[in-house]
Amino acid sequence: MTSKTRHRTRIVRAAATTVAALTLVLAPTGHASAASGPALPLGDPDLTETRSSQVLTDGVTLTRIVRGTEPAPADQINTTTRGPWVVNVLTVDPRKAHGHLEATYGPDLAGVEKTTDLVRSSGALAGVNASFFTFTASAQYPGDPVGLGLYGGRLLSEPTQDPAETDLVVDARSGRTLMGPLSWTGSIRNRHTGATLPLQYVDHPPVVPDACAALSDPTQCTVPGDVVEFTPEFAAATPSGAGVEVVLDRRGCVVRTATERGTALTAGQTSLQATGQQAATLLKVAGQGCVSTRSVLTDEHGRQLPARTGLFGVNGRYRLTRDGRIVVPAGTGSFFDRNPRTIAGTTATGRIVLATIDGRMTTSVGTTMDETAAVAAALGLRDAVNLDGGGSTTMSVRGDLVNRPSGTTERAVGDALVYIDRPYRG
C-alpha cells in the first residue's frame, strides 16, 4: 500500500479526448491451461504440491494450488524454504467465455468497499482486488486510486509519474488487454479568448499552500498550487477549502464560480478547482463562457489510447513478466519481504489470469517480488503485473471469499477486477 503521491497526472472525460486508435494486444489462440504446468518454483524442490480445479462457467476455471504441507514457524515466515504457499488462480478464456472482465468501484470513487461486496453489487461471478489506493493516507477519501483509474471509458484517475507503476487496460468487448506504464497530459482552453491552462490532476484533492491558507481572497496567493478537474463520480461533494472552483455543464459552459471550494455536482457536470497562484489564473481562463477540455493518454511507446466505451484500467506496481521473461527490477526481491500478492496477467494463448497468493500467515507465508514473478512465469503468464497486495489481497467467487486475507477481517479496497458472466453492454 502506498500513500497518494503528489506528482500525478490524471485523465479527463472521454468526450473531450481526441486521440488516434490503439490496438490492444490479443495473444494467439491455444488450448493450454494457465494453471497446469510445472510445479511452482517456491521453496525446496521436494515439497508436496497439490492442485484442484473447478469450472465456474464456460471458459472460466478456478484452480487452488497448495505447496508444502506443514505450517511454518511464526518466526520463519520470511525465511522458510518449506512454505507452505496457497495460490488461487482464476482463468478466463475470452474465446470460450460468454462474459467479460471489467473494473468496478463502490458508490463513489473516493470510498472503499470490500472485494466480496464489489463482486456482489456488480453481479459478477468472481473478482479480485485491483488498484493501489490512498488508504490510510486520507481518512476522507481513502479509495482514491494512486494511479490509473479507467471505468467504462470514463478515465477518473490519471497514471502517476512513479516509474514502478504498470497499468492494466482491458477491453470488455473483445477481451484484449494492454499492459505497461501509461502517461497523461491535460489542459483547458477558453473557446472565446483562446487562453489555456494545464490540468495537473483529476479527482485528486488539491493542496493549499500554507502561505495561502489564511488569505481572505484566494486569488491573491503568489505561491504555486494545483489545478484539478472533478467528476460526479468522485464523491458526494467536491473537496472543500481555500481556493476557487468553476462548475461546468456537459457542454463545458460555466454554471457558477466560487472563491471557496466545495460543491455537489449533478450528472453531466464537472468542476475545476485551483489553489495557490493558479486560483487567479483559473478564473481568468474559465471564469466565464465555455471551455474545451483536452486530455491525451499514451502508452510507453507514445501511442495514444482512446478512452472509448468498454475500456477499463487499473494501476499496479512493478511489471512481473514481459514477453515471457521475468522483468522485476533488481533489488525489489530483497526490498520487499514476503507478503500476500495479487497478480493479473495474460498467457501466450490469450487467456486472462487473476491470481492471489496468501501471506503473512503460518499456513501461507506469501512471496517476495522475485518469488511473485517466478510464480507468474510458472503459471504461464507471458505478461503480468503486480496489483495491490498485503491486506488488500482478496479473491471472491459469487460474493464469497476464496482465499484467506491477512489480518483479522477482509479489508475494504478502492476497486476490483471482476468477471461478469454476460456480454458487455456498455
Take residue 347 and report the three cell numbers written for it: 498467457
- Separation of alpha carbons 38 and 45, rounded Å: 11
Take residue 362 and report the three cell numbers written for it: 503460518
Q: For 299-357, what is each residue's pLDDT tens digit?
A: 999 999 988 999 999 999 999 999 999 999 877 765 579 999 999 999 999 999 999 99
Q: For 17-48, what is each residue's pLDDT tens digit?
A: 323 333 354 333 333 344 557 899 999 999 99
Take residue 17 and report the three cell numbers written for it: 479526448
- The pLDDT score that the predictor gives to residue 38 is 84
CB 34 within 8 A of CB 343: no
Q: What is the DSSP letter of 142?
A: T
Neighbours of 39 (CB within 10 A): 13
Residues 6+ apart with CB under 8 A from 283: 219, 244, 246, 257
- The pLDDT score that the predictor gives to residue 335 is 59
- Portion of the chain with pLDDT greater than 90, in percent: 82
Please give the helix or strand (H or E) that residue 24 lies within, else none: none
CB 5 within 8 A of CB 144: no
- Separation of alpha carbons 5 and 97, rounded Å: 38
Is 1 a residue whose pLDDT tops 80? no
Tell me, letter by letter, the H, E, C secondary structure of 197-251: EEECEECCCCCCCHHHCCCCCHHHCCCCCCEEEECCCCCCCCCCEEEEEEEECCC
Neighbours of 274 (CB within 10 A): 28
- Separation of alpha carbons 387 and 345, rounded Å: 10
- The pLDDT score that the predictor gives to residue 24 is 52
Domain boundary assignment for the chain: 14-31+47-182+299-420, 187-295
Residue 198: which of 208, 212, 188 has the closest Cα? 188
Neighbours of 84 (CB within 10 A): 23
Q: For 135-191, what is each residue's pLDDT tens digit?
A: 989 999 999 999 999 999 999 999 999 999 999 999 999 999 999 999 999 999 999
Residue 386: which of 302, 301, 326 has the closest Cα? 326
- Separation of alpha carbons 43 and 57, rounded Å: 33
- Separation of alpha carbons 84 and 218, rounded Å: 58
First to last CA, the chain: 31
Q: What pairs with residue 183 in β-bridges? A: 298
- The pLDDT score that the predictor gives to residue 334 is 58
Rounded average pLDDT over 94-110: 97
Residue 293: which of 224, 191, 159 has the closest Cα? 191
Take residue 76 and report the three cell numbers written for it: 520463519
CB 142 within 8 A of CB 111: yes
Rounded average pLDDT over 117-139: 96
Q: For 365-422, what is each residue's pLDDT tens digit?
A: 999 999 999 999 999 999 999 999 999 999 999 999 999 999 989 999 999 999 999 9
Rounded to two decimals, the pTM is 0.90
Chain centroid to CA 97: how far? 24
- The pLDDT score that the predictor gives to residue 194 is 96
Confidence of residue 211 (pLDDT cuts 50, 70, 90): confident
Strands ordered across the beta sheet of 196-199: 196-199, 183-190, 291-298
Q: Which residue has the cell 461478469?
A: 420
- Separation of alpha carbons 350 and 176, rounded Å: 8
- Report the amino acid identity of residue 116: T
44-48, 88-92, 162-166, 205-209 — which is least confidently predicted?
205-209
Rounded average pLDDT over 77-105: 97
Chain centroid to CA 210: how far? 31
Provide the pairing of β-strand 241-248 with 254-261: antiparallel
- Portion of the chain with pLDDT greater than 70, in percent: 91
- The pLDDT score that the predictor gives to residue 13 is 32
* Half-sphere exposure in the Cβ direction for 131 (13 Å, CA): 37
Q: What is the mean pLDDT of the chain?
A: 90
- The pLDDT score that the predictor gives to residue 222 is 85
